[in-house]
Amino acid sequence: MRVLLVEDDEPVAESLTRGLGRYGFEVEWVRTGAAALRAEPSDLVLLDLGLPDMDGLDVCRELRARGDVPIIVISARADETDRVVGLEIGADDYVSKPFGVREVVARIRAVLRRVRPALAQPEPTQSSRLSIDRRARRVYVAGAEKSLTPKEYDLLAFLAEAPGAVFTREQIMEAVWDANWFGPTKTLDVHVGALRRKLGDAVAVETVRGVGFRLTLS
C-alpha cells in the first residue's frame, strides 16, 4: 500500500518512513505542498499543516477537490479550530504531534476500514501449524486457540509480518511498545520467553546475538 507523506521536518519524516516501512507500507516523502500536488496518486496521504510554501489546509482542500483519497492530517497545531477546519474541508482524521508510529498505523487502519475496506483487511498469517487472525487478534496452533496477552500478540504479529527477517531490539520496542517507551528493554526478553512457552515448536523466536530477534515459521 502506497502512502504519500507530506512533511518538511526531516527527523519526523525519516522516523515515520522507517516505521511505516516496517509495517509494510510503501512511503513517498515530499517536503512541500507543491510537491504533494504534483505527486503520483497514492492510497492515503499523511499531511502536515505547517509546510514551508503553503498552508497545509489549502493542500488538503485541493487534494479533496481532486478525488477521494483518504487524508490524515498530522500537525503540531493543537488549536481546535485547525482540527475542525481540517475535518470540514475533507480530512478523514487528525493526529497531533508528538505521536508514535503505532498510533499513526492504528489511525491509518481505522480510516481505511471506513473508506477503503478492501485495503484495510490484513491477510491471516498461516504456516503448517500457526495461524494468526489479525482482524480478530486471535492465534491458533494446530487449530487450537492460544491465549496471549495484548503485548504478546502485538509482538508475535509484528515479527510475523516478515518471517525470517531480523529485527533489532530498538525496532521491536518502537513498533510494539512505541517510540515513547523509556522502560528497560528486559521486558522484551520476558515477552519473547512467554511466546516460546505458549507456542511451543509451532514457531521459533530466534535470538540473533547482539542484534535482536527473528521469527521462523515451521
The yes-or-no verdict on residue 127 having pLDDT over 80 is no
pLDDT digits (tens, 9 = 90+) for 42-91: 999 999 988 999 999 999 999 999 999 999 998 876 666 666 777 888 89
C-alpha cell at 218: 515451521
Name the residue with cell 546475538: 209
Classified as helix, coil or strand, 134 is: coil
pLDDT digits (tens, 9 = 90+) for 129-145: 888 888 788 999 988 99
pLDDT at residue 148, as a whole number: 95
CATH superfamily of 2-120: Response regulator (3.40.50.2300)
Q: Where in the chain is the domain with CATH 3.40.50.2300?
A: 2-120
Q: Does domain 125-217 have CATH number 1.10.10.10?
A: yes
pLDDT digits (tens, 9 = 90+) for 154-207: 899 888 877 888 888 877 887 787 655 555 668 899 999 999 999 998 889 999
Q: In what order do the strands lie in the sheet with 212-217?
A: 167-168, 212-217, 203-208
The reply to whether the predicted model has a pTM over 0.75 is no
Sequence length of the chain is 218
